Amino acid sequence: MMVGHAAVASSPVKVSAQRHPAFFPAMSSLLIVFVFLGFAPTYYLRPVAAGPIPAYLHVHGAAMTVWFLLLLVQTALIATRRRAVHRRLGIVGACVALVIVVLNPLVVAWSVPHLMADNKSTELTALIVVADLLLIGVFLVLVGLAIRWRRYPETHSRMLLLASLAVSGPALGRLSLNLAGTPLPGIIGLMGLPLMVVVHDRVMMRRVHPVSAWGTAAIVGSLVVSIAIANTAAGGAIVGWFL
């Protein structure tokens, strides 16, 4: 059943007290920390001895970095009521989102041989590949709808935050594998972060915004489906198709 426009959108004229002013900047800052820690060993703090990385990975890394930095800047601009600057930067954000949507699936596909060489596990590689592809689909839908409903601040901001949470999955996964040797903490973290948006809504509004509900369900559902597929023959077939 489709969610009606009236149920999803808040007033296009005013931003009501439907959020804590620090919540969205704080979540954006947290994502930047996770992204930096997850990709520090292979990108941000990559040792010179490890050798150069391909140009497309530099573009990918730059686009993702700019996206998360823009998320923080944009949420801070809204918190400080600088909406005119926020709207102008939104054009930059839309262009960066387009680069992410085009390039991320290619990066996932091209990374499969490297993933298999690193972890020697078809199931783990299938989990990473399927989850990343499904979550970039969630990102595409949420960003597209956020642009469509850009005049409805409460809807727009939640869509962009949840879209950013979706594409933080690779960073959380790498951080989890680096620290714990298993993707499980990263999966739990990626399921838990959208629930923080739900809890925020419940505390601030005494209800859950429809976008928070179905956006969280989309992220959690993508992870559950990825786990299920990775442990079947279909997961192995997907990995084999990319090799």
* Mean pLDDT, residues 1-29 taken together: 64
CA-closest candidate to residue 159, choices 141, 135, 137: 141
Q: Is the pLDDT of residue 198 over 80?
A: yes
pTM score of the predicted model = 0.91
Assess whether pLDDT exceeds 60 at residue 161.
Answer: yes
Contact 175, 38 (CB under 8 A): yes
Using CA of residue 184, residue 195, residue 221, residue 139, what is the dihedral sign?
Answer: negative
pLDDT for position 42:
92
pLDDT at 14: 46
Of 10-14, 174-178, 213-217, the one with minimum mean pLDDT is: 10-14
How much of the chain, in percent, has pLDDT values that exceed 70?
93
209: Cβ–Cβ under 8 A, 6 or more apart, which residues? 18, 154, 155, 158, 201
pLDDT tens figures, 215-242 = 999 999 999 999 999 999 999 999 999 9
Cα separation values, 2 from 146, 155, 166, Å? 16, 15, 21
> For position 20, what pLDDT does the model report?
84
Give the pLDDT confidence score for residue 15 in this predicted structure: 44
The per-residue pLDDT for 17 is: 60
What is the C-alpha to C-alpha distance for residues 214 and 209, in angstroms, rounded to an integer? 9
What mean pLDDT, rounded, does the chain reach? 91
Q: For 93-117, what is each residue's pLDDT tens digit?
A: 999 999 999 999 999 999 999 999 8
